[in-house]
Structure 1
Amino acid sequence: MNIQNLAFEPIKLPRGALLKNRLVMAPMTTSSGFYDGSVTDDLISYYSERAGTIGAIIVECCYIDNKGPAFPGALAIDNDKMIPGLARIAKAIKSKGSKAILQIYHGGRMVEPELIGGKTPVAPSAVAAPREGATTPIELTASEIDMMVTKFGDAVNRAIKAGYDGVEIHGANTYLIQQFFSPHSNRREDKWGGDREKRATFPMAILDITHKMAERSANDNFIIGYRFSPEEIEVPGIRFDDTMFLLEKLAAQGLDYVHFSMGHYKRSSIVNTEDMTPLITKFIKSRSEALAKVPVIGVGSVVNTADVEQALDLGYDLVAAGKACIAHPDWADKITQNEELDLSMDYNQRIALKVPEPLWRFSLVDAMIREVQPTTRNYKVGVYQEKIELEAQKLKINVELSTDRITDITMTVDDSLDVDFTTTFEELRTRMLVANSPYVDAIAGATAQSEALKKAVSRALTTSSKDHIISTGGNPNEGVVYDVVVIGSGGAGLSAAIQAHDEGANVVIIEQMPTIGGNTVKASVGMNAAGTIYQKLKGIDDNAQLFFDESLKGGQFKNDQELLRSFVDSAPLAIEWLADHGIELCDITITGGMSIDRTHRPGDRSAVGGYLISGLVKNIVSRQIEVLLDTKVIEILTENNEICGVRVEDEYNEQTIIKAKSIVVATGGFSANKKMVLEYRPELDGFVTTNHKGANGSGISLLQKLGSGVVDLKEIQIHPTVEQTTSYLISESIRGGGAILVSQAGRRFYNEMETRDKVSAAIIELPEKTAWILFDDQIRSNNKAADEYIEQGFVQQAPTLEALAKKINIDIKALQPTIDKFNQAVSIQHDEEFGRATALRVPIEKGPFYAILIAPGIHHTMGGVTIDTDATVLKTNRRPIRGVWAAGEVTGGIHGANRIGGNAVADIVIFGIKAGRQAAIYAQNKR
């Protein structure tokens, strides 16, 4: 087939509109609208840049009702004030010669309450979506449904007034229209529900009013399209024959096109996974003559000319591209030239590509971004085979390399493979090829598999890099001379490496563990800072002096006050540094020992650790900073009292020397080193630790050999809320969100928001030496970390407080008065019983109710090597060790005798940046 002869042939739609070709830009969420759903200037530029050669642009979905937005930054068409902004988009597209089509929708039960002012979303029936934490919606009344149909009509009328060539009715993606047709979400027994004939009533009504509005106000050739998801995985759910039934009815009423909503244009059934027939093939085979007259749009994984050709060959009449149009605004032009395209984009290309900032941060696009500058590593071209070592499987992969890129990763066929691992492999393979690096986020729910695969790819790169050196006559054991060696890949090490690189240094990170992230990845609550832009936006009046005073008090006045002053003064700048690097901590909560909300966390209120490490690693990858995993530094080398490098040992016990001009040590504390803990605190024998096994104090030992001083090694913090069977830390954000602690007797026993040392002591004094952390669904929904605990399986839950009490063997006659008294304290914002003055957020009253059995565990070592305010490591005589800096838990002095929750993340970022900057400056002065 000649692509020029078909893809660029005009096509006349049933109602008379003429598209100049068969290429379409798919509607994609940009999350770039204003808070009220209005249009930003960036969106005008974004759509204008992509118009021209392409036949039509379907503008992202606009919600038709103020309870309808399904995502942040959604565009609205729910009132006439939105018309001028939407008109600007239509004009920008049409002025370039492309048709402008506007997609309209309502999110129904898929709307999060926080997007609609805390209100409960609406749906055909009061049935929650089958996802963890989904809100049970309010069932629409018959009169409200009639009104909803009217609102869709009003939206069509506004689209006409805004100058659009047509509208696409969004009946897909489990939004409201699909919800009415689905037997899972529609359990009604009136005219709007029942058998599929009745369940089709609502989408038919929407199409009917769309026709009426078009006939009243638009040209005769106004385009009316319908997007659909062909199947649902839910039971009961929409099946393919149900979809065909609906499409036949819609076609009989009159449509210009139907638009599949799928991740791949060749996708087969998600219900009958044994049937590999593409759904488009089944569609064409089973459609009637009437439906055959309605053009069909294919979408999903369309990038290159070959994809367009295959889609047209399969029977699609039009082909829509999504991500390809983001990466290549002139995608249609490149298709005409048969250019070979990929979806990767340079991390600094956003402005040139006219991509709005929120879309650039969206996960859809984030995975496409990579640094396209040459890698610091050179590979020997070839295919390298490695083993993936899992407990139950030993699989083989082939890593294909060009001189500077990973070109492919394939897995040797093995009968022992299961579907889950195959899915993990494919997803992770894509991430690594796009990033040109093994250092990408693990697949959720498959961490062990992900890390094993990443490690295998990393080994292949190391082997190939050595082979390249040998092939060019070099000695791989001599290695590269670096400006800065960073030891440790937790938050402090990654921050230091990024800053050192940006100061112009050649940097390598050395990590003794097989994965990046250190103990930081386990951090949960957030990052403390006072006087930040995010606090000001929320009306929180805070200042560095108050932060200093409360940290000093929390540390029992044993803190190094010079370090602490530098810490609190630098914290807001560190928050801004993170935001500048794409890591935004814009939500704020509180921790024990603080009097004000200053603990910054991700906007979705998830645990800070994984989010922070993921963001920092993306910065490491984009800068092509070398990372050596499974590599232990056994000695810091000096020559003539100057730092000259490190001696390392890899996983195969081979030792090499890495030359360097300066060192940053960021190896963490020693909470996982039982011998070292008991040396300083023998009374902690038998306590579990929340730390990973790499927190063994190795960095302290390395630096002591250079003569460094140490401070506060006896100051070891135990965290009050640790799940004992898994050593899982239960985030302070849960108590900061409003949870309480109760004893087995069903009573509160202490101020939950006191400092960690005091709360831990109170739990230890209980007869059982354990307690329950108790909260309700309001608290859970505002703290995403709680969902992780539920997934781990150690959360007890029940629909009522009485049922929960029975489950955890607490007398409800004792527990109910405890809850009632606490709820009264919340209502008057005064806890007379225990003096809790913060985090009295909501009454514990909304089921389901949750409880986690906890006890204290070893969490943080406040002591470590001595540093100054520039993170320079100091000798026992307080003089600096030239060329050596340290950051994070390997250091001591900042936190005194007790660390405030949220101060550790601030510590690693603040002093990581300082250490990286100073190490780079020092190294460059030695060039």
Structure 2
Amino acid sequence: MTTSVTTDVVVVGFGAAGTTAAITARQLGADVIAVDRANGGGATAISGGIIYAGAGTAIQKEAGVHDTAEQMLDYLRLEVGDAVSPQTLQRFVDTSPEMIDWLSRHGVPFNAGLCPYKTSFPNNRYYLYHSGSENAGAFRAHTPPVQRGHRAYGKGTSGKKIYAPLADSARKLGVDFRPHTTVTELMQDATGRVVGVRAMTMGEAPRRIQLRYARLAAISSKPGVYYPPLRAVMERRLAKLADRYARPIEIIARRGVIICAGGFIANTEWRKRYAPEFNGGLPLGTSGDDGSGIALAQSAGAVTDRMDNVSVWKFITPPSAFISSIVVDDKGSRVIDETRYGAALGQAMVKDHGSNGWILADAALMAEARRQLLTQTLWFQRAQSAALMIAGAKRGKTLADVARAAGIDPDGLQATVAAHNDAIDAGEPDPVGKPDEFRRRIDRAPFTLMDISVRPNPLLPTPMLTLGGVRVCEDTGAVVDADGTPIPGLYSAGRTAIGIASRSYVSGLSIADCVFAGRRAGVAAAGQRPD
């Protein structure tokens, strides 16, 4: 027997985008039911907890960081490109300070501890840092480097410090959150308007079964994200419980359905179809990031875009000393300005260098990096850096020796290092545009090459996530069809939809887009009534 309930707005997926959309719609007076196939939180809850924000946020001002909307816009134009319209990007920038204020009012904690060095993720002393390519030569030529990575205040990867307060705020406002509920179908009326969802829910299962389901879902999410075999076991157990205890439910939406169900990084078949080059990384997300939200929208006439765009991360810091190294491919050629964000490095390696890359450091840099292991890293960063510097390293008394040990062209490597050092000696620009303050001669033996190639490696994983999704109207978040016409009653936000982060990713830009787009969709859906 199918249970049927009615509400104003249904939110599918309860991570950063879903909680934000639900809160916004509820504050505008709409009754809201939010569902999630797992415990809620999505990829946000297992993330580093970074919000990319600027233009003079309260946290930046407290830290003494000067930033303007013009500076932030100049930087993001280069990163975002044509993923969204100039008008949408302007709105994102202009509302950035207020977004941090909004998150703070809903309990998300921030801290003005300013990181004094360049890193991929700061330790527990610092919470405001350069989280993108702001320091890189190609970007600082257009706008001064400004710290805009707002890390939620909390130890370690602090994504839960974003999700938990938002979820709590949503519940206190009266959002009816129903976890362990998997949407299987959109409901449409005779005119094509989306009027609700059909789902399978564990909500009627015995309490002990619900608790067991929640525990398994938590393990599948994390640590399962880092160990796929464990996740596979948990998912099989969850499927068995669902087969026995899940019951059908229809949720009628008087005003609209908002899909915030993540991307498709967990869908191996789709990754092979849309982005076959990206096969050596570690899927970063939950099992719910399987494209099911995208497929739901497509069933109502939605069209997708940028499905071949995958962000693949190869960070060379911490230790920050490695910013002054050079990264080379199997021919010994430079890959990129090493001050670029890790996703830019990963993209360059996959697209232009056969997924190959090595960090080259001399004895002085290696000594400094070893000293920084204890002062700049969290435990997982320390473990990965140590693995890179020991298990992933080849050493040699000469450049030719270390090149041969690593399987790199010796002549190419020697020529690259000579060009690098000669430019420094002559006071000329770096061959790939690295800013002067991060350049050092590479000349003290022994030399070390550390393998950062994009390939399956449990000791040195390469996280990756999808950036493509369904097209939406940028004023409302309404999902559109092939003609660009909004599909009545259907909205989307987060990585299910095209947004600010759909072209180029830097830390915090995805969650910031989830909040920006989630609030937009919440406003539109709450105000939308059937004719």
Partner Cα distance (1:612, 1:690) in 2: 18
- Closer, same or farther in 2 for the Cα pair 1:891/1:657, shift >3 Å? same
Partner Cα distance (1:794, 1:782) in 2: 13
Q: 1:421 — aligned with what?
A: none
Partner Cα distance (1:578, 1:547) in 2: 20
- Closer, same or farther in 2 for the Cα pair 1:779/1:497, shift >3 Å? farther
Q: 2:199 — aligned with what?
A: 648
Matched, 1:519 2:43: yes
Deviation at 1:831, TM superposition (A): 8.4
Partner Cα distance (1:884, 1:503) in 2: 18
Deviation at 1:812, TM superposition (A): 7.0
Matched, 1:751 2:334: no
Q: 2:410 — aligned with what?
A: none
Partner Cα distance (1:578, 1:546) in 2: 23
Partner Cα distance (2:3, 2:392) in 1: 63
Partner Cα distance (2:316, 2:21) in 1: 26
Partner Cα distance (1:637, 1:865) in 2: 20
Q: 1:385 — aligned with what?
A: none
Deviation at 1:752, TM superposition (A): 2.5
Secondary structure at the residue paired with 1:683?
A: coil
Q: 2:131 — aligned with what?
A: 591
Q: 1:787 — aligned with what?
A: 379
Q: Show the 5 A alignment for 1:268-417.
A: none
Matched, 1:668 2:208: no
Q: 1:657 — aligned with what?
A: 250
Q: Show the 5 A alignment for 1:11-26.
A: none
Q: 1:481 — aligned with what?
A: 6
Q: In the alignment, is the contact (CA less than 8 A) between 2:28 and 2:523 conserved in 1?
A: yes
Q: In the alignment, is the contact (CA less than 8 A) between 1:737 and 1:779 conserved in 2?
A: no
- Closer, same or farther in 2 for the Cα pair 1:498/1:680, shift >3 Å? same
Q: 2:393 — aligned with what?
A: 808
2:301 pairs with one of 700, 707, 718:
707
Partner Cα distance (1:526, 1:736) in 2: 23
Partner Cα distance (1:732, 1:496) in 2: 35
Partner Cα distance (1:597, 1:760) in 2: 22
CA deviation digits over 1:569-600, x for unaligned, max 9? 22222111111112133332113333321111
Matched, 1:718 2:268: no
- Closer, same or farther in 2 for the Cα pair 1:762/1:914, shift >3 Å? closer
Larger RCO (CA within 8 A; separation ≥ 6): 2
Partner Cα distance (1:479, 1:629) in 2: 17
Q: In the alignment, is the contact (CA less than 8 A) between 1:737 and 1:841 conserved in 2?
A: no
Q: Show the 5 A alignment for 1:594-743.
A: 594=134, 595-603=145-153, 606-623=156-173, 625-641=175-191, 642-650=193-201, 651-652=242-243, 653-661=246-254, 662-685=256-279, 687-714=281-308, 716-721=309-314, 742=327
Q: In the alignment, is the contact (CA less than 8 A) between 2:80 and 2:504 conserved in 1?
A: yes
Partner Cα distance (2:84, 2:321) in 1: 24
Task: Indicate the structure (1 or 2) with the bigger Cα radius of gyration.
Answer: 1
Q: Please tell me the residue identity of whatever aligns with 1:601.
A: R
Q: Which is further off, 747-756 or 667-676?
A: 747-756
Deviation at 1:834, TM superposition (A): 4.5
Identity %: 23
2:346 pairs with one of 760, 767, 784:
760
Q: In the alignment, is the contact (CA less than 8 A) between 1:780 and 1:787 conserved in 2?
A: no
1:796 pairs with one of 380, 386, 406:
386
Q: Show the 5 A alignment for 1:108-147.
A: none
Q: Which runs of 5+ in 1 are unaligned?
A: 1-475, 722-729, 799-803, 843-850
Q: 1:498 — aligned with what?
A: 23
Q: Show the 5 A alignment for 1:456-475.
A: none
Secondary structure at the residue paired with 1:646?
A: strand
Q: In the alignment, is the contact (CA less than 8 A) between 2:42 and 2:286 conserved in 1?
A: yes
Deviation at 1:604, TM superposition (A): 5.2
Q: Please tell me the residue identity of whatever aligns with 1:752.
A: E
- Closer, same or farther in 2 for the Cα pair 1:870/1:497, shift >3 Å? same
Matched, 1:581 2:99: no
Deviation at 1:713, TM superposition (A): 2.5
Q: Which is further off, 661-670 or 639-648?
A: 639-648
Deviation at 1:910, TM superposition (A): 1.1
Q: In the alignment, is the contact (CA less than 8 A) between 1:526 and 1:905 conserved in 2?
A: yes
Deviation at 1:627, TM superposition (A): 2.7
Deviation at 1:914, TM superposition (A): 1.8
- Closer, same or farther in 2 for the Cα pair 1:902/1:744, shift >3 Å? same
- Closer, same or farther in 2 for the Cα pair 1:878/1:533, shift >3 Å? same
Deviation at 1:538, TM superposition (A): 2.5
1:508 pairs with one of 33, 36, 60:
33
2:85 pairs with one of 560, 563, 588:
560
Secondary structure at the residue paired with 1:660?
A: strand
Partner Cα distance (1:755, 1:809) in 2: 25
Partner Cα distance (1:635, 1:602) in 2: 35
Matched, 1:891 2:489: no
Q: In the alignment, is the contact (CA less than 8 A) between 2:470 and 2:479 conserved in 1?
A: no
Secondary structure at the residue paired with 1:905?
A: helix
Q: 1:84 — aligned with what?
A: none
Secondary structure at the residue paired with 2:33?
A: strand
Partner Cα distance (1:658, 1:621) in 2: 18
Partner Cα distance (1:888, 1:906) in 2: 9
Partner Cα distance (1:583, 1:603) in 2: 8
Q: 1:836 — aligned with what?
A: 434
Deviation at 1:556, TM superposition (A): 4.6
Partner Cα distance (1:477, 1:542) in 2: 54
Partner Cα distance (1:672, 1:633) in 2: 17
- Closer, same or farther in 2 for the Cα pair 1:768/1:552, shift >3 Å? closer
Q: Please tell me the residue identity of whatever aligns with 1:527.
A: I
- Closer, same or farther in 2 for the Cα pair 1:909/1:807, shift >3 Å? closer
- Closer, same or farther in 2 for the Cα pair 1:781/1:892, shift >3 Å? same
- Closer, same or farther in 2 for the Cα pair 1:749/1:636, shift >3 Å? closer
Aligned residues: 422
Partner Cα distance (1:625, 1:839) in 2: 51
Q: Please tell me the residue identity of whatever aligns with 1:588.
A: L
Partner Cα distance (2:168, 2:97) in 1: 22
Partner Cα distance (1:613, 1:854) in 2: 33
Secondary structure at the residue paired with 1:675?
A: helix
Q: Show the 5 A alignment for 1:97-108.
A: none
- Closer, same or farther in 2 for the Cα pair 1:663/1:751, shift >3 Å? same
Partner Cα distance (1:660, 1:739) in 2: 55
Q: In the alignment, is the contact (CA less than 8 A) between 2:392 and 2:451 conserved in 1?
A: no
Q: 2:471 — aligned with what?
A: 865
Deviation at 1:687, TM superposition (A): 4.5
Deviation at 1:483, TM superposition (A): 1.8
Partner Cα distance (1:496, 1:813) in 2: 58
- Closer, same or farther in 2 for the Cα pair 1:597/1:841, shift >3 Å? farther
